[in-house]
Amino acid sequence: MQIQQRTQVKDSELGEEVHPVLRRIYAARGVVNEADLRLELGELLPPSQLKNCHTAADLLLTAMYAGKKILVVGDFDADGATSSALLVLCMRAFGYDFVDYLVPNRFQYGYGLTPEIVEVALVSLPDLIITVDNGISSIEGVRQANKAGVDVLVTDHHLPGAELPDASCILNPNQPGCEFPSKALAGVGVVFYLMSSLRSALREQLWFESRGIAEPNMASFLDLVALGTVADVVPLDQNNRRLVKHGLGIIRSGKGRPGIRALLEVAGRNPNSVVANDLAFGAGPRLNAAGRLDDMSLGIECLLTDNPGKARELAVRLDGLNKDRRQIEQQMQTQAMDALQHLNIGDVSQLGICLYDSHWHQGVIGILASRIKEKFHRPCIVFADAGEEGDANMIKGSARSIEGLHIRDVLDAVATINPGLLNRFGGHAMAAGLAIHREDFEAFRAAFEKVLKKYLDQAILKESTWVDGELPPSSLTLDFAASLREAGPWGQHFPEPQFMGDFIVINNRVVGEKHLKLTLQAGEQKNPEAIVDAIAFNVDKQLLNLNLKQVSLVYRLDVNEFRGVVTSQLVIEKIVEWNAR
């Protein structure tokens, strides 16, 4: 592991009112002037730049005037759940009730608008199907809907393949010919733009005025947009940071969805001081747990309800599913690590990891792939039985990549070189999904490795931990920790600051059996103002029982709230070196 310091992209033009450490942090992320810092909603990229946005809004407008029945078909993750909830809530707020949602059972029908899920959808006799966070690769499903005389509006953000579905309209910033500057919109962001455009069209038609309906403020829905955007780990470019920042503000103000507040509370996070990290590791996993183990309808209903009591009840059930997910994941992780005992992090004789176990849970393989990728720092694909009706020999894979390797492009290369090997695939640069026949697993593993040898720059296999330099003891304060929290939102491609430093250990103790709580002294001289608490999670067993004397750390400076007391705290990411007494 290499520790590398982030460097400034160019000289900062930010004023002296910005803390010098914060100026350095911003500059390393390309934020060097006041314009880069502006996150006002009024400066959101306009819907007019998103190809087909006005056309899609007109399609919905026509459907509303005709009283057509609209069915939303979503994905089974947090982005899909928030997208589904956002579209249904907006349509209801616009005074239109002929709208419902359907989430495919991932274990029975697979991903997206498959022909099988279209058959299920047709039972409710929809006139228009709207896909959210899926559909760009649903060639056969859209064809099936068209045969049944049902229009399809595809809203998605995943990368398209060579062929696009024959939908009535496609809304996707990554489709050919779309010049929308932010290609990083999550599925829920695409829906937000569609609903914003529809609201404008309704306003022009005097829809609200003629029906005596108060025109909804689209900003009031940004809590859903923030949750879906952060949970889907899309890059937080400036436009996404605007959406997330104001969504967090809605939650903090107490005006957000009761379900999001309840999810945060059962996760032990304070909604009144929520940051993006709380959505990523608190609310998001509990919402995702429904789609991984059960039915995402449970998560969508949690987001839809206006009743705080019902929201709390549903959030508790989702929290229980998340605990079950953790237990299943731990068992799978133990089995996977046993299978990978031969593999060393620095070994480049094997560039990628492919694993399959018929007993593994299909809903958890994505998390397992992430854990393995993080440990071995190489692209990983984990397979489990698909369990789809009519094709018992199919297995599904979930792929996770490392920075510098576009995993969907790799799968595309595998498919091109080996026609028929992949039944289907799709995804992003960092994550993708695929399906193959069980008997083709070894052939796929060999083909995957062969493509990696051709396209992978082995230099990126050297794991690097990036830091923002050292913090002076005078900055280890609650005030500066609070400033860092407010300087975000932090997330993918706009990483939360990490620092490195040497500390004297005043005391350390084990908490929760595998975590380490420390009291540290910054600097060599004893200074009461340079004493700070720290926490390290999931520490190696060899460290837990040591009486530590000195440590070299990579850490984040955060705000800790415990029993009404608010202090600064170091969240330790890596204990690089240590000395014991």
pLDDT tens digits along 280-314: 999 999 999 998 888 899 999 999 999 999 999 99
* SS3 assignment, position 493: coil
**Whether the predicted pLDDT of 388 surpasses 60:** no
Helix axes 308-339 and 297-304, enclosed angle (nearest 10): 150
Checking DSSP bridges between strand 353-356 and strand 380-385, what pairing results, if any?
A: parallel
- Decide: residue 10, CB within 10 A, 0-12 exposed, 13-18 middle, 19+ buried: exposed
Q: Does 46-216 carry CATH code 3.90.1640.30?
A: yes
Q: Give the pLDDT score at 462.
A: 82
User: Mean pLDDT over residues 460-466, rounded?
Assistant: 85
Checking DSSP bridges between strand 531-536 and strand 515-522, what pairing results, if any?
A: antiparallel
* Type of residue found at 446: A
Q: For the segment 392-406, what is each residue's pLDDT rounded down to a tens digit?
A: 789 999 999 998 899
- Decide: residue 68, CB within 10 A, 0-12 exposed, 13-18 middle, 19+ buried: middle
Q: Give the pLDDT score at 391.
A: 66
Q: Give the pLDDT score at 458.
A: 83
Residue 275, both tokens: 């940051």
Bridge partners of 503, per DSSP, are 522, 551
Q: Give the pLDDT score at 163.
A: 94
Who's near 164: CB < 8 A, 6+ residues apart? 136, 139, 170, 175, 176
* Band of residue 152 on the pLDDT scale cut at 50, 70, 90: very high
User: Mean pLDDT over residues 443-466, rounded?
Assistant: 90
Q: For the segment 165-222, what is each residue's pLDDT rounded down to a tens digit?
A: 999 999 999 999 999 999 999 999 999 999 999 999 999 999 999 999 999 999 999 9
Q: For the segment 313-348, what is each residue's pLDDT rounded down to a tens digit?
A: 999 999 999 999 999 999 999 999 999 988 876 667
User: Mean pLDDT over residues 10-18, rounded?
Assistant: 85
**Whether the predicted pLDDT of 390 surpasses 60:** no
Q: Give the pLDDT score at 294.
A: 81
d(CA 85, CA 296): 11
Residue 176, both tokens: 């050919």
Phi, psi values for residue 175, rounded to 5°: -75, 155
Find tokens 């608490």 and name the residue.
Answer: 533
* Band of residue 110 on the pLDDT scale cut at 50, 70, 90: low
Specify the DSSP class assigned to residue 65: H
Find tokens 């956002």 and name the residue.
Answer: 86
Pairs from 481-484 (Cβ < 8 Å, separation ≥ 24)? 481/557, 481/558, 481/559, 481/568, 481/569, 482/559, 483/19, 483/22, 484/22, 484/557, 484/558
**Whether the predicted pLDDT of 500 surpasses 90:** yes
CA 307 to chain centre: 26
Nearest by Cα to 37 from 12, 66, 56: 12
* Architecture of domain 346-461 in this structure: Roll (3.10)
Same fold, 346-461 and 470-580: no
**Whether the predicted pLDDT of 504 surpasses 80:** yes
User: Alpha-carbon Rg of the chain, whole angstroms?
Assistant: 24
Count other C-beta atoms under 10 Å from residue 66's C-beta: 10
User: Mean pLDDT over residues 21-27, rounded?
Assistant: 94
Residue 525, both tokens: 């001289």
Nearest by Cα to 380 from 434, 299, 302: 434
Specify the DSSP class assigned to residue 280: I
Q: Give the pLDDT score at 525.
A: 66
What dihedral angle (degrees, nearest 10) is formed by the CA atoms of 358, 360, 361, 367? -130
Q: For the segment 466-487, what is each residue's pLDDT rounded down to a tens digit?
A: 999 999 999 999 999 999 999 9
Residue 182, both tokens: 């932010």
**Whether the predicted pLDDT of 389 surpasses 60:** no
Residue 199, both tokens: 């609201």
* Band of residue 30 on the pLDDT scale cut at 50, 70, 90: very high
Nearest by Cα to 129 from 167, 76, 176, 83: 167
Count other C-beta atoms under 10 Å from residue 490's C-beta: 22
This prediction has a pTM of 0.92
Domain coordinates in residue numbering, the chain: 46-216, 245-326, 346-461, 470-580
Task: Please give the CATH topology (third level) of the domain spanning 470-580.
Answer: OB fold (Dihydrolipoamide Acetyltransferase, E2P) (2.40.50)
d(CA 58, CA 128): 13
Proportion of the chain above pLDDT 90, given as a percent:
81
